[in-house]
Amino acid sequence: MIRRPIAILTLLTALNFVNYLDRYELAAVLPRVQAELGFSNFVAGLLATVFLLSFLATCPIFGILGDRMDRKTLLALGAFGWSAATIATGLSRSVVTLVVARAFVGIGEASFTTLAPTVIDDVAPADKKSRWLGIFSIAGPVGSALGYIVGGAVEKKAGWHAAFFVGGLPGIVLGILVLLMHEPPRHERNRLDLLTVLRTLLRIRDYRSAVMGYAALTAAVGGFAYWAPSFLFKRFHIELAAANFRFGLVTVVAGAIATLLGGAVGDAAQKRAERRLHADRDAVDGGPTAPVYRDMKRSVPPTEEEVSDAKATALLRVCAMGSAAAVPLGVACFLSPTPTLFFVFAFFCEIGIFFSNAPINTVLLRVVPSSLRASAMAICITSIHLFGDM
């Protein structure tokens, strides 16, 4: 039985790597799949849409089931489901079977994406919840990059069908390990209905801002990752395996650096915000006559809610800083006259994009009531894919 919190974090993070690998592996071999099955760019885009529709349609279902059933069972079933569907993608010989397989990948990943953060939130130490979720989130850029690297390398050696077999097997193994995981105790269960939860969360300004920003970030990441290998293949005539490897390597390095750097800058920004809040409060309470009343008047410290709001605002500014830097760099990528310049601009663009990973998750946890953290994460995940990927 897997009981140690750090072991549970490691297992779920590893499964999250596989989650993103399987999600983006199709993009890595897309031109080869198109050539063999003979479908257009419209159908290629439809494959991503089908995945998202199945993902979004089943996320709320798994959210409800997760409150009433053993979460590790649902997580394992999700891993088995999307892994089997990934293998089925490799077995596809027609567009119809390919579409159906990708739909089931979306259903399986919906279970994991909805429930895994709530398990991590339960097992993480009270003072490390956001950092643990940040570690879990590193799997996003690194796992998606592995999809390009693994997909491209296997496709070159054994064809695109084999790439999906290799991608699907690890999820089955890790799914078995999830069944051996100790179900973490529930801390505080939410008994509110979905509409009440939505109304409560939508009243929180910083939560709204974080979700909208996260959706925009997801749109940028998804579009860039899905079409970059095809762009390199068609614009610069780079061999597909080489394009996937280089782009994947850039994403791995940039994503890991940016996630860790963003977390460090976010922590520093929170400390500065709290110090500034205390300094401003002292100045307001003391005022210009503070020396006269120094012995008669004592400054009132800011409330916990005021400190939390100040820290959240600071974190959102960190996110905005990274996104603002990424925009011109992203434009420069697709205007680059050479592949070398493309990859240079792509590296710094992805630094800006993934800079927000740790700060944005910290905001989502900080600004909502503790009893609604899991619901807030689930609604955020659904929203960013609904408004970001669609």
pLDDT tens-digit series, residues 141-156: 788 878 888 898 899 8
Mean pLDDT value across the chain: 85
Among 6-15, 22-31, 108-117, 349-358, the range with the most confident prediction by mean pLDDT is 6-15
pLDDT band at 18 (very low <50, low <70, confident <90, very high): very high
Residue 63 to residue 111: CA distance in whole angstroms: 8
Q: Does domain 5-388 have CATH number 1.20.1250.20?
A: yes
- Name residue 181's beta-bridge partners: 2
Contact 112, 19 (CB under 8 A): yes
Indicate if the pLDDT at residue 389 is higher than 80. no
What's the average model confidence in pLDDT over 135-145?
82
pLDDT band at 358 (very low <50, low <70, confident <90, very high): confident
pLDDT at 52: 86
Contact 216, 323 (CB under 8 A): yes
Indicate if the pLDDT at residue 264 is higher than 70. yes
Residue 112 to residue 105: CA distance in whole angstroms: 11
pLDDT band at 289 (very low <50, low <70, confident <90, very high): very low
Tell me the per-residue pLDDT of 24-72, one tens digit each, with 9 for 90 and over.
899 889 888 988 888 888 888 889 889 989 998 888 778 777 777 788 9
Residue 108 to residue 58: CA distance in whole angstroms: 9
What's the average model confidence in pLDDT over 153-182?
93
The set of residues, in sequence order, having a beta carbon less than 8 Å from that of 202 and lying 6+ positions away, is 208
Count Cα neighbours of 29 within 13 Å in the Cβ-side half-sphere: 29
| Percent of residues, the chain, with pLDDT higher than 70 | 92
Indicate if the pLDDT at residue 162 is higher than 50. yes
Domain ranges of the chain: 5-388
